[in-house]
């Protein structure tokens, strides 16, 4: 039970590569035949329907690829982020979500973060043949308030 995040980055890597040796690459993030990704805050599903990926099909895997554009705020511009769709599926599979109404975690917007529990649900097309490590990077909204007497309070 705590403050819900304002930004989520989710990826998966082979457990053997995560533990790492000189012969492995811990930065090779793959989808491992994931078919559905769901993130819940207090039982409420984000995005509203979850994310059906079907990474073995190019048309449905674009839904995960699109999250990179939405979060980086280049969804409707001529800018890019140097990760092509084929590289996204084979090497840099990362899902990104922003949970604040303004959809931009880097701007100085004010919002009231939810308190509660978070849960991630994954569905795979077939059982995994080896152990994987799921990595989550969560960015939280914290603030420091300073009054005229230079006293400060925090919410964390």
Note the pLDDT tens digit of each residue in 79-127.
666 777 777 777 788 888 777 665 544 555 555 566 778 888 999 988 9
Of the candidates 135, 133, 123, 134, the one whose C-alpha atom is nearest the C-alpha of residue 55 is 123
Q: Peptide bond before 120: cis, by omega within 30 degrees of 0?
A: no
pLDDT for 133 equals: 92
**pTM, full prediction:** 0.71
Mean pLDDT of 28-53: 81
Neighbouring residues of 122: CB distance < 8 A, sequence distance ≥ 6: 34, 36, 37, 38, 134
Neighbouring C-beta atoms of residue 82, cutoff 10 Å: 6
The model's pLDDT over 128-149, given as tens digits with 9 standing for 90+, comes to 999 999 999 888 777 778 888 8
The phi and psi torsions of 145 (rounded to 5 degrees) equal -105, 130
Better-predicted residue by pLDDT, 3 or 10: 10
Closest residue by Cα to residue 41 from 70, 3, 12, 67 = 3
Average of per-residue pLDDT across 8-26: 84
pLDDT of 33 over the 80 cut: yes
């Amino acid at each position: 039970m705590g403050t819900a995040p304002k930004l989520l980055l989710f990826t998966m890597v082979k457990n053997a590569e995560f533990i790492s040796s000189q012969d492995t690459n811990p930065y090779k993030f793959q989808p491992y035949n994931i078919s559905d990704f769901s993130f819940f805050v207090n039982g409420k599903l984000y995005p509203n329907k979850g994310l059906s990926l079907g990474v073995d099909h190019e048309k449905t895997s674009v839904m995960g690829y699109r999250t990179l554009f939405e979060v980086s705020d280049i969804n409707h511009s001529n800018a890019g982020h140097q990760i092509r769709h084929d590289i996204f599926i084979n090497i840099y599979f990362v899902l990104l979500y922003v949970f604040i109404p303004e959809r931009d975690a880097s701007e100085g917007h004010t919002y009231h973060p939810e308190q509660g529990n978070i849960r991630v649900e994954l569905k795979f097309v077939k059982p995994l043949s080896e152990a994987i490590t799921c990595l989550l990077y969560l960015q939280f909204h914290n603030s420091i308030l300073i009054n005229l007497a230079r006293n400060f309070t925090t919410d964390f």
